[in-house]
């Protein structure tokens, strides 16, 4: 039986590189002078700080540009509204979503079943495993899932014959 896994993973090294590049650019740009803009990364979030709400949004735009250049999908990031911080500053919390949750997994399984091919799909923790007898069926499932917009960046791994 041939199989593959549908996953949604983020390249943490590229995120860290983008954060470093954005931090460097923000510290050097004239329009950020005195704005005290900075980025902090925790396990599943990025905290953007600056002197005003406008500068926080501008700093997030700079980080988005760096992420796009490094081919990190923005579908992994969920931006909250800016919150007031200490001394009139502002902060923006950006949560990072990795993996496929149950609801998205069910949508993937539904798309697989609607294709009418002889394959099975099952949710396994943070991924969906698709199995079938024919390699061509699995490849057509991959192309079908690439065309669907499920709101999650999908990768296809562990393709086995």
Residues 66, 92, single domain; the answer is: yes
Residues 92, 16, single domain; the answer is: yes
Residues 37, 20, single domain; the answer is: yes
Residues 108, 155, single domain; the answer is: yes
Task: Tell me if the pTM is above 0.85.
Answer: no
**Res 134: pLDDT:** 84
Residues 114, 92, single domain; the answer is: no
Residue 120's pLDDT band (cuts 50, 70, 90): confident
**Res 125: pLDDT:** 84
- Final residue of a domain: which of 67, 96, 125? 96
**Res 65: pLDDT:** 93
How far, in Å, are 37, 84, 94 from residue 54 at the CA level? 11, 12, 16
Residues 90, 116, single domain; the answer is: no
**Res 69: pLDDT:** 93
**What span, in angstroms and rounded, lies between the C-alpha atoms of 151 and 44?**
18
Helix (DSSP H) and strand (DSSP E) numbers for the chain: 4, 9
Mean pLDDT to the nearest integer, 92-101? 87
pLDDT tens digits for 140-149? 888 888 888 8
Say how many domains are in the chain: 2
How far, in Å, are 9, 53, 56, 70, 91 from residue 84 at the CA level? 32, 8, 11, 30, 6
Residues 78, 126, single domain; the answer is: no
> For the chain, what is the mean pLDDT?
86
Range of the domain at 116: 2-8+100-160
CATH number, domain with residue 113: 3.30.70.860
Residues 77, 119, single domain; the answer is: no
Residues 105, 76, single domain; the answer is: no
Mean pLDDT to the nearest integer, 120-128? 85
pLDDT tens digits for 24-71? 888 888 887 877 888 888 888 998 888 888 888 888 999 999 999 999
- For residue 81, the surrounding DSSP H or E stretch is none
CATH number, domain with residue 64: 3.30.70.990
- Residue 155 pLDDT > 80, yes or no? yes
Which residues share a beta bridge with 90? Answer: 50, 84
């Amino acid at each position: 039986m041939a199989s593959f896994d549908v996953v949604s993973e983020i390249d943490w090294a590229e995120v860290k590189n983008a954060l470093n590049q954005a931090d460097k650019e923000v510290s050097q740009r004239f329009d950020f002078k005195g704005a005290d803009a900075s980025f902090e990364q925790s396990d599943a979030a990025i905290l953007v700080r600056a002197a005003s709400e406008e500068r926080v949004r501008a700093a997030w735009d700079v980080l988005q540009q760096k992420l796009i250049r490094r081919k990190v999908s923005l579908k992994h990031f969920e931006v909250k509204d800016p919150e007031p911080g200490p001394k009139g500053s502002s902060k923006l919390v950006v949560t990072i979503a990795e993996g496929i949750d149950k609801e998205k997994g069910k949508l993937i399984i539904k798309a697989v079943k609607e294709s009418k091919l002889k394959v099975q799909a099952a949710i396994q923790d943070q991924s969906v495993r698709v199995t079938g007898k024919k390699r061509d069926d699995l490849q057509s499932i991959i192309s079908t899932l690439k065309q669907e917009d499920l709101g999650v960046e999908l990768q296809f791994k562990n393709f086995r014959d």
